[in-house]
Amino acid sequence: MKTSTFHLMTTRETPADAEIASHQLMLRSGMIRKLTAGIYTWTPLGWRVLKKVERIVREEMDRAGYLELLMPAVQPAELWKETGRWDDFGDQLLKINDRAGREYVFGPTHEEVITDLARTELRSYKQLPVTFYQIQTKFRDEIRPRFGVMRAREFLMKDAYSFHIDESCLDKTYREMYDVYSRIFTRAGLEFRAVRADSGAIGGSQSHEFHVLADSGEDQIAFSTGSDFAANVELAEAVAPAAGRPEPAEEMKQMDTPDATTIDDLVRQFDQEIEKTVKTLVVEASDEIDAAFIALLVRGDHVLNEFKAVKLPQVASPLRFAEEEEIREVMGAGPGSLGPVNCPVPCIVDRTVAKMADFSAGANIDGKHYFGINWGRDAEPGEVADLRNVVEGDASPDGQGEIQLARGVEVGHIFQLGTKYSESMNAVVLGEDGRSHTMPMGCYGIGVSRIMAAAIEQNHDEHGICWPEPLAPFQLALLPMNAKKSHRVREAAESLYRDLLEAGVEVLLDDRNIRPGVMFNDMELIGIPHRVVIGERGLDEGELEYRARTASENQRIPLEGAVEAILAKLG
RNA sequence: CGGGGCGUGGCGCAGUCUGGUAGCGCACUGCAAUGGGGUUGCAGGGGUCGGAGGUUCGAAUCCUCUCGCCCCGACCA
């Protein structure tokens, strides 16, 4: 390809509404153009990259024996009413009407369509297991599309669905898919973690999210330095400190703390270590216990995990924090002066709190705190539970290594659906036993367009994108210096260009009549991994200059046998 | 959905408070010089100011309505 005939449209200025690196660079390099909120055109340059991602996904899916098909983007409402998702899916579901007023949805996902196909096509256990997949445009009417194609409304997704005779058959495909996904992201050159996700309401189901590690990620994940443990922060278990509770060293004393209503105040005004403070949160209790409210205690620097709290049988669902008046009524003091000593409502303490000694907390008297509190002697811990978010440095729940936190971009999700859809849509096959079996299903998604954004988040510098080789729009940029004036350069470039094409290299020859600096900047912006410069100077020496996108130094390669030398660089 | 902000050539912005008939940078076109990291000079083309209505002799500017876009927000003892 030559730049003179390839529509290359880079801009120097960053569009005002692009917040994160990938969005800015995709716009500046001219890979996408926004049509309207959350909806983008893929330009020839961007489309080349997207196709690379697509190809990796497709090759690995095919290799695993999964079957590609293509389902309609527009689907009849009846199917969605059948599973109840016409109402349940929420406002993200784009509903449309045809000329006769019939209702349709633009598919945000395809469980209904594939299950409809399966119930008519699949009759016997002998046809199972089977996995279908497609790579297709989806539409989800996001509340707040942002970050370009990272959270777009229209996006390209690979979705796969598997059908099984029983759970163990599903489990086998699920595990296999886990490996396929790992291969896909590895091949794409991405640093990622497979994260155990919430199994949700569907009992016994398994679910993993695949996250590309990037600071701009919308999800925070916790992973171990010593094992492959990884989980969403909301779900990661916070284990108790290994060490036992220290013996009391201080007497408990009541202190006047009129101006301390937050942990921060307490730490600052009384020179307390934050690790020696406890905060008390009052939430509504469930019917399980004989009290209207219940107190949850976490260490001053820890954060209550609401997912964990609401799972406790004593806590009302949904979680509701007590209002200030309610707190005064039951506790006898306002928020900011609460603690476990003489606590009038039941307490549940976090595992870490249970192992604390000589700590401070509110006295349940306005303007007063107790310092030097010890469990057993001054207050009863009551029930101990995991109440908090994990923090860096916590022991990994599997006992191997420490917890580290990172932000991630969710690029894949695999899920054991069970019979949720097959049951409501009556997708059954005859088993070996001659009876009908409702097919357990799995579903597996990959955000194809999102991978592209995630890859840029992970691979860029101040000059632009540094594509992982397998995703780059071109492998090599061929840059002739001052070709307009120098026919030697022009001819050498043309001839090398033809030879490289012949050798199967995806090469972009910059034959625009522009300054070298512009060429360099453009090629770096769009992130071509390798570049070769041809100039009068080099030709005099019988040499070309080579440089990798991420390198800072040029290398010389002899003109003689240049194609072979370049091929060796491309790896 | 709630709060805030913004819509002026393709992009980034100024002009709006204090109405007088639209400007800058980048990009684009032509010519010339330059020719190894976004070079320079000269000459050009392109917008009626998101839309509708109103006030006024006169509206990008004031008023009303409307559409679109962007940002923030669901850990508080």
Q: Could you tell me the distance in Å between the CA of residue A514 and the C1' of nucleotide B44? A: 21
What is the signed CA dihedral for A495, A497, A502, A507, rounded to 10 degrees?
A: 180
Whole-number pLDDT of residue A381: 82
Assess whether A514 (CB) lies less than 7 A from strand B: yes
Q: Is the pLDDT of residue A289 over 80?
A: yes
Q: Could you tell me the distance in Å between the CA of residue A14 and the C1' of nucleotide B62? A: 34
Assess whether A35 (CB) lies less than 7 A from strand B: no
Assess whether A339 (CB) lies less than 7 A from strand B: no
Residues contacting A23, CB < 8 A, separation 6+: A147, A148, A149, A150, A453
Buried/exposed A113-146: b ≥16 CB within 10 Å, e otherwise: bbbbbbbeebeebeebbbbbbbbbebbbbbeebb
Whether the Cβ atoms of residue A327 and residue A342 lie closer than 8 Å to each other: no
Q: Could you tell me the distance in Å between the CA of residue A516 and the C1' of nucleotide B12? A: 25
Tokens of A461: 């510098």
* Within A 403-462, residues with CB less than 7 Å from strand B: none
Query: How many Cα neighbours within 13 Å face the side chain of A386?
Result: 16
Whole-number pLDDT of residue A358: 94
- Look at the pTM and tell me if it is higher than 0.80: yes
Task: Single out the residue of A550, A552, A548 nearest to residue A570, CA to CA.
Answer: A548
Q: Over pLDDT 90: what percentage of chain A?
A: 69
Measured CA to CA in angstroms, residue A409 lies from A450, A491, A534, A558 at distances of 8, 46, 40, 43
Assess whether A518 (CB) lies less than 7 A from strand B: yes
Which of A33-42, A216-225, A269-278, A511-520 is most confident?
A: A511-520
Whole-number pLDDT of residue A83: 93
Q: At what angle do helices A21-28 and A448-458 cross, to 10 degrees?
A: 100
Across A456-513, the runs of DSSP E, i.e. the strands, are 460-461, 464-465, 476-480, 507-509
Assess whether A538 (CB) lies less than 7 A from strand B: yes
The pLDDT tens digits of the residues spanning A117-132 come to 999 999 999 999 999 9
Q: Could you tell me the distance in Å between the CA of residue A10 and the C1' of nucleotide B52? A: 37
Residues contacting A176, CB < 8 A, separation 6+: A64
Mean pLDDT of chain A: 92
Whole-number pLDDT of residue A569: 95
Q: At what angle do helices A44-63 and A448-458 cross, to 10 degrees?
A: 110
Q: Could you tell me the distance in Å between the CA of residue A149 and the C1' of nucleotide B64? A: 38
Average pLDDT of span A306-318: 85
Whether the Cβ atoms of residue A170 and residue A439 lie closer than 8 Å to each other: no
Assess whether A143 (CB) lies less than 7 A from strand B: yes
3-state secondary structure of A443: strand
Q: Is the pLDDT of residue A532 over 60?
A: yes
| Residue with CA nearest C1' of nucleotide B34 | A515
Q: Is the pLDDT of residue A264 over 90?
A: no
Q: Over pLDDT 70: what percentage of chain A?
A: 99
DSSP-derived letter for residue A159 is: E
* Within A 385-404, residues with CB less than 7 Å from strand B: 389
Residue in this structure with the two tokens 């293509």, named with its chain if needed: A70
Whether the Cβ atoms of residue A305 and residue A388 lie closer than 8 Å to each other: yes
Average pLDDT of span A52-69: 98
Q: Is the pLDDT of residue A339 over 80?
A: yes
| Residue with CA nearest C1' of nucleotide B72 | A144
Binned at pLDDT 50, 70 and 90, residue A334 comes out as confident
Assess whether A337 (CB) lies less than 7 A from strand B: yes
Average pLDDT of span A212-225: 88
Assess whether A304 (CB) lies less than 7 A from strand B: yes
Average pLDDT of span A554-567: 96
Whole-number pLDDT of residue A198: 62
Rounded CA-CA distance A269/A402 in Å is 33
Sign of torsion, CA A40 A42 A45 A51? positive
* Within A 239-268, residues with CB less than 7 Å from strand B: 261-263
Query: How many Cα neighbours within 13 Å face the side chain of A268?
Result: 7
Binned at pLDDT 50, 70 and 90, residue A216 comes out as confident
Residue A558, phi then psi, degrees to nearest 5:
-65, 140
The pLDDT tens digits of the residues spanning A173-212 come to 999 999 999 999 999 999 999 998 765 444 447 889 999 9
Whole-number pLDDT of residue A568: 96
Whether the Cβ atoms of residue A418 and residue A171 lie closer than 8 Å to each other: no
**B strand bases under 7 Å from protein CB:** 1, 10-13, 25-27, 34-39, 68-73, 75-77
Q: Could you tell me the distance in Å between the CA of residue A301 and the C1' of nucleotide B69? A: 40
The pLDDT tens digits of the residues spanning A414-460 come to 999 999 999 999 999 999 999 999 999 999 999 999 999 999 999 99
Rounded CA-CA distance A533/A556 in Å is 10
Q: Could you tell me the distance in Å between the CA of residue A284 and the C1' of nucleotide B76? A: 15
Average pLDDT of span A234-241: 86
Measured CA to CA in angstroms, residue A64 lies from A173, A190, A355, A430, A561 at distances of 10, 21, 50, 26, 40
The pLDDT tens digits of the residues spanning A481-499 come to 999 999 999 999 999 999 9
The pLDDT tens digits of the residues spanning A348-382 come to 999 999 999 999 999 999 989 999 999 999 998 88
Q: Could you tell me the distance in Å between the CA of residue A12 and the C1' of nucleotide B45? A: 22
Average pLDDT of span A298-319: 87
Rounded CA-CA distance A244/A89 in Å is 48
Q: Which nucleotide is nearest to A321 (CA to C1')?
A: B76
The pLDDT tens digits of the residues spanning A133-161 come to 999 999 999 888 888 999 999 999 999 99
Q: Could you tell me the distance in Å between the CA of residue A36 and the C1' of nucleotide B70? A: 12
Full 3-state SS string of A391-428:
CCCCECCCCCCEEEEEEEEEEEEEEEEECHHHHHCCCE
